[in-house]
Structure 1
């Protein structure tokens, strides 16, 4: 409740949201006023938490592609398709042809690992996941152009500079303001990283991405320290 108050969220609204999340299994109670991730969101939460190890998940690219064929999936089943679409986006896939999604085969563990991760995130079993290493020049060029490399690289630099500027001035902020801003900025940066395609050279500037990841980690540590202080102070105020 103390955290919600910093964002202008009323206590009743927060309690209603908690009840709804509990009903869907996304969270579950562990005691009075205490919750943890529930069974229906544990796989997604595990994938999101892995953002800190993003760079350890990539390997040198040999030019091959990971491919998902989704023609057997019914897009009319909106809930199922949303899960599949999210799974594909989280692992960096883009649509090359109708129902044919690709990404560079540069993730550690190769197709077997990626297939398992996609399934856990919601990709239906009817969608085959495989590798392709003999695309013709025209199709390979189209696949490489699915990502705007310069824009992606610039997004790393832009977010990194924004976070660095905030870290330089955070000590001048009131604790509650620092907590609120660190949450909002940090959430956006982590989301950017969670949905980053983790492309290899030469499709993106890998050194710029690594610098971005390093700053997000420092920002996350600073944000956690701020929130521990603010929530600790709020707890002491409760009679």
Structure 2
């Protein structure tokens, strides 16, 4: 994972629970990854000019309003499992064929919202996912809107697909890869938790940041599929390990930088125009 001042600053602010972070703490955090103070200060000025962050008092910054709603949705990875309900074989569908494709920013937000809600394209402009969240279509609709998707999109419950499409739906998610990821990454995190107290403080802080960002991102974008499509026990065990890893990261960063944060969520590419891509 290539880390830049922009990624680190936005990643930390995204998980700061709405609390402002001081310029000095952001400079110290970036220094851990070899990023110089001048680079951090220039980046802060640019992010502020773009509206992605906002000054809060003297020498502190917090997220700008365009990004705060995304931060709220990112934070739901810890409680998403509690929102699951019993799957009775139905689906939630979203039709985007009436939405414009010329606005690249809106298109990026739409694609990210669909992915974060576990929706996959079945037919052109028709996306589906299992209807296994409490609240059904209304829950998915509200979350899509909160993630920046246009309200004109049709979101509805769907059932009685023909056998060909049912077979296609079953192939939309690589469930074998998901199950393997739950087990493999859980073991990787558990191995680190068993040895991190033997590491130098800076090495531990750096490693927990990078590993935590990767683990949190995988849960932010997890489709939260129901059984029998997925191994729910393996996913639950992975979630619990990531929560413990997150708690460890909070303690390490608080002790090292006096920054009380959760582990950062970072995309492969950070935002250039108001929202995370």
CA distance, structure 2, for counterparts of residue 113 and residue 26 of structure 1: 27
Gaps of 5+ in 2: 1-26, 260-277
Deviation at 1:166, TM superposition (A): 0.5
- RMSD over aligned CA atoms reads 1.3
Q: Determine whether 1:227 maps to 2:258.
A: no
1:134 maps to 160
2:196 maps to 170
1:151 maps to 177
* Contact 2:73/2:146 (<8 A) preserved: no
Q: Which moved more, 1:202-211 or 1:125-134?
A: 125-134
CA distance, structure 2, for counterparts of residue 149 and residue 231 of structure 1: 39
Q: Determine whether 1:10 maps to 2:41.
A: no
Map 1:75-154; keep pairs closer than 5 Å. Answer: 75-154=101-180
SS of the counterpart of 2:151? coil
Gaps of 5+ in 1: 234-239
1:62 maps to 88
* Contact 1:24/1:40 (<8 A) preserved: no
* Contact 1:73/1:81 (<8 A) preserved: no
SS of the counterpart of 2:65? coil
Deviations 1:77-118 (A, max 9, x none): 211100000000001000111111111111121111210110
CA distance, structure 1, for counterparts of residue 92 and residue 44 of structure 2: 38
SS of the counterpart of 1:67? strand
2:70 maps to 44
Deviations 1:50-90 (A, max 9, x none): 11112112111111111111111222321110000000000
Q: Which moved more, 1:183-192 or 1:224-233?
A: 224-233
Map 1:207-218; keep pairs closer than 5 Å. Answer: 207-218=233-244
Deviation at 1:227, TM superposition (A): 0.7
* Contact 2:87/2:226 (<8 A) preserved: yes
TM-score normalised by length of structure 1: 0.94
TM-score normalised by length of structure 2: 0.81
**Higher CA-based Rg:** 1
1:28 maps to 54
Q: How many residues align?
A: 233
CA distance, structure 2, for counterparts of residue 62 and residue 26 of structure 1: 41
CA distance, structure 1, for counterparts of residue 101 and residue 231 of structure 2: 35
CA distance, structure 1, for counterparts of residue 144 and residue 54 of structure 2: 24
Higher helix share: 1
CA distance, structure 2, for counterparts of residue 198 and residue 136 of structure 1: 24
CA distance, structure 2, for counterparts of residue 217 and residue 56 of structure 1: 14
CA distance, structure 2, for counterparts of residue 5 and residue 123 of structure 1: 36
2:275 maps to none
